[in-house]
Amino acid sequence: MPRSAIRVLLVDDDPDDHDLLRRLLAKVEGARYQLDCVFTYEEGRQAVQRCEHDVYLIDYRLGEHDGIELIREVAREGCRAPTLLMTARGSYDADLEAMEAQVTDYLDKQRLDPVLLERAIRYAMRQKEVEQALQDARDSLEARVAERTAELTEAQRLKDQFMATLGHELRSPLAAIGNGVHLLRHHGAGQAAVLRTCDMLERQLDQVTRLVSGLQEAARLQSGMLHIRKERVDLSPLVTQGVEACRALIEEHRHQLSLSLPAEPLWVDADADRLVQVLCNLLENAALYTNPGGRISVAADRDEDSVLMRVRDTGIGIAPEARVGLFQLFTRTPEAQGRSQKGMGIGLALARGLVEMHEGSVEVYSDGPGHGSEFVVRLPQAAAHPS
């Protein structure tokens, strides 16, 4: 039998019909058909459910049953095979009944010839292909709708979480600012108290300013309005600059800080200020989510055609399932949500966005909650700076 043979199953209790079908198919040019036969309703039902054939020719009369009944039964059980109903009784009622049962085509045995039979088989197979394509498209659309619905649900959850966190983050500094103003206005504080209050107001104002600045940067990143200006720079001095910018925060949390830089330059084509911002975001994240007295290490080195910047801490760590969405805007891990200093879930998203604008990547590694974490920034290495 040729590999391209079309498999046809005839469900008919009349041997004469079997002989007729064999003769008609034998006259079709190319002998591309394999005809199998079953003789009872039950055999036909089982055979159609197995879906081992390309087309099913089913006689209208099958003993005490009829072919339309068989087609309806297998359809109820989830089988959608291409079926051709054959009958010797041509009538409007039979045609209507066949259409209601969603029969693919209706053949009058009295008028059957090789051309008509082949045309009907080809039509049935084509209909199956079209139905399968439609089903695949429907399944794909449903999958996309489900995926999009999940994304929107997650976005709504993150927005609600963000709004709650924003209220908390703003409430504390605003309350402190309000208390300071009240103290200055109503209690006639001395010079020393005034200076202490002004220092406190300045710190709280700086906190609110940084929060608003972070929100503005996030909005610009999301809208594609954040831009960088690249030039050939050595990464090592930028790492030192970022460490110094965050040293006060690190010392405030009494962390031990170590810095490792190579003797040779690490040339990259980058926006220097933005790379310092990336490192500061990673260091702030490490400082906030490492218990007082922890260790933070910063290193830069070369890996083949890339330049690496690493920030490792002994902090709260990250669960494997939390690493996937860690860099999404306003996302915080369950471990981070339990901290008194929770952050807004902006810093890591900004860091990743800025690194990707430099055609680089950020990866995070952790052995799980309580085991610290390491963030690795990978940037394309540039040729040595022209002398």
Concatenate the DSSP letters of all residues of 266-303 into one string.
Answer: -EEEE-HHHHHHHHHHHHHHHHHTS-TT-EEEEEEEEE
Question: Range(s) for CATH 3.40.50.2300 in the chain?
Answer: 6-112
pLDDT score recorded for residue 2: 46
- Strand stretches in 12-110, DSSP E: 33-38, 55-59, 61-62, 65-66, 83-87, 105-108
Architecture of domain 6-112: 3-Layer(aba) Sandwich (3.40)
CB atoms under 10 Å from CB of 252, counted, come to 10
CA–CA distance, 215 with 350 (Å, rounded to integer) = 10
| Residue extent(s) of CATH 1.10.287.130 domains in the chain | 151-223
Q: How many CA atoms lie within 13 A of 351 on its CB side?
A: 28
Q: What pLDDT score does 91 carry?
A: 59
pLDDT of residue 162: 66
pTM of the model: 0.54
Task: Identify residue 304 by its one-letter amino acid code.
Answer: E
Which of 109, 110, 88, 86 lies closest to 98, judged by CA? 86
Q: 347-357 vs 191-223: helix axis angle to the nearest 10?
A: 50
Q: How many angstroms separate the CA atoms of 8 and 86, rounded?
A: 14
- Reading the block at residue 340, the tokens are 């008194």
Cite the residue boundaries of each domain of the chain with CATH code 3.30.565.10: 231-380
**Pick from 244, 239, 294: which is nearest to 261 by CA?**
239
CATH architecture, domain defined by 231-380: 2-Layer Sandwich (3.30)
Q: Cα torsion for 81, 87, 91, 97, to the nearest 10°? A: -30
- CB count within 10 Å of CB 135 equals 11
Please list the ranges in the chain whose pLDDT falls under 70. Answer: 1-3, 29-31, 89-95, 101, 160-169, 183, 185-190, 332-344, 385-387
H or E stretch at 375: strand 373-380
pLDDT digits (tens, 9 = 90+) for 34-91: 888 988 888 888 888 888 888 888 888 888 888 888 888 887 777 777 888 888 765 5
Contacts 24+ apart (CB under 8 A), 177-183: 177/201, 177/204, 177/205, 177/208, 180/204
Q: Which CATH architecture group holds 151-223?
A: Orthogonal Bundle (1.10)
The pLDDT, as a whole number, for residue 54 is 86
